[in-house]
Chains A and B, each alone.
Chain A
Amino acid sequence: QVQLQQWGAGLLKPSETLSLTCTVYGGSFSGYYWSWVRQPPGKGLEWIGEINHSGSTYYSPSLKSRVTVSADTSKNQFSLKLISVTAADTAVYYCARAPLVGSTRRSYDYWGQGTLVTVSS
């Protein structure tokens, strides 16, 4: 049974760096895209970025200057780093997995449990 378990600091001050890690249990790390999605309180889902099986990264243009997604395949983990956070970055952050089938990326099949990150002075 595949599980994505995520963790990281839940309370940050403005200008600090958000760091979250997602560990993959029960499945291979290769052959997938590993994504981060966030959801501000009471609002919809927003795609942040992802890393693929070969280490290529893709980011939302609105966050690209502040975000880094990386992976540690030896630990079956991938991470999100968002610098210079503001109150607008307050959201529940989710990690998610998207399979690569042949040369075609599918959509997400497994999600992490979500982490509420609050940015407040």
Chain B
Amino acid sequence: DIQLTQSPSSLSASVGDRVTITCRASQDIDIYLAWFQQKPGKAPKSLIYAASSLHSGVPSNFSGNGYGTDFTLTIRSLQPEDFATYYCQQYNTYPLTFGPGTRVDIK
């Protein structure tokens, strides 16, 4: 199975801060990496697919980058509604796997 690690596991930030979350895969997954946002008690929301493509309706404040084994999710200017947990997922190889999540909360 392909293992995904995320760093940091949690972070505290202020509104307006630039935030970057890293996802590292244990094997080459090409560009088949997605990012999801989840708020407490809610279903995940799809943000990014194919490492850097934004899903329809996702603000351009979010961006993704990477290829192979190293990927990043960047929030350019943190907004109040962005405080949540973020998960990466690889869909290059079965079984599909998720990262452990990165919690972003208010400083």
Contacts and interface: CB of A to CB of B under 8 A. Distances in A.
Contacts of A114: 42-43
Interface of A is mostly: strand
Interface residues of B, number: 25
A44 to B, nearest CB: 5
Interface size class of A (residues with CB under 8 A): 20 to 34
A80 B25 CA distance: 28
Interface in A24-75: 35, 37, 44-47, 50, 58-61
Given A44-B100, A106-B49, A106-B50, A111 B44 contact: yes
Interface of A: 35, 37, 44-47, 50, 58-61, 94, 98, 105-114
Given A50-B96, A114-B42, 6 more contacts: A44-B101, A45-B101, A47-B97, A108-B34, A111-B46, A114-B43
